[in-house]
Structure 1
């Protein structure tokens, strides 16, 4: 069976992404692959479709179905959207993005809790419990030596597999997975305290700002650390 031709959108996306920078280590018998970090705009264009699919779309589907079908219909629609996307990619042989997998974890928790109660507090508690599960997932990936941050990084940028297999790079993603576990756990603590001690209005506005600030710090540290890691790996002499 012949593989279908590359769609124009996919071709343009590949053309927009810079190729890895070759080095002496890329020659036969070389020791490692150098990697040139893509421009920020290229990273954003590569990650945006995955962010929309795994984060924005499930929320949009939920609220649209909530208006049209009520709470139960919204829950069914959100779950169907996320798991339908995973099944579609699996059947077509496409990789399932880390964001979509995390969205599946979150939407499952929210659906189960919302089906059990219609309490406003429990409704707003659901995303926080989903965040807690994601935090645990990041933490559990560290001792398993399968850092979840590496999976997400592959969704965000076209990083060569040979570069990802470098020991220093793998160690970096282990540390970043631990960092994001702590960032998300802090998110959970802030959200729980405000949910049970402040009004819902205060919770929605202030908590959103605090969580966004924590996320921005985590992203900044991750990007800075990755650039530093790239420079170190690219600066290593190629082994004969």
Structure 2
């Protein structure tokens, strides 16, 4: 069933794409939108977060949201979700949890997730496949407050992003990504079916809600030749696009 914030986001999206809310115009305030749709401001914020992620609108401290574009760029959700990206490219995604256990955050994890040192976290090792071939190994650390919802997901869940949106209305709105390369260790080589020492593309990411609350931090390692990341810069947006390697 479609949630209210999704319905509101779609209504605003239509107003933007058909020109009723042109580029440069301001959206109604959160209070006005809440009254119009008969919902809470929290529900409105979830809807606006989806449009922010798509690059359709922008925000400034203390000001109304402005329309930046009438055509969605690659959304953050698509970049964040391997499964959604794969399906958009006509491929079949797969996923399998290899390990999952609760523990206490170390100093780096606590800092990234804005937790007290020693706070409870959930660590998940997940293998992603593309058309049946292993391409990505994710080592994700979830903040304790979302751990139970993650644990309830099927081990073969294709899209954690979509599943958490459907189950508890969680929207991944912001993220920071660091890309580098490293040599495959024993576990990486075994799961990705490459030689030990093979070069892997690593993406370290931390994602937050629209309110800036950290949800997870992850170390993602891609098999050589699996994907290519492309950065396109502009004055309005700086989307990072992921494409399949040739």
TM-score interval w.r.t. the shorter chain? under 0.3
> Larger % of strand: which?
2
TM-score (structure 1 length as normaliser): 0.28
TM-score (structure 2 length as normaliser): 0.27
Q: Which has the larger radius of gyration?
A: 1
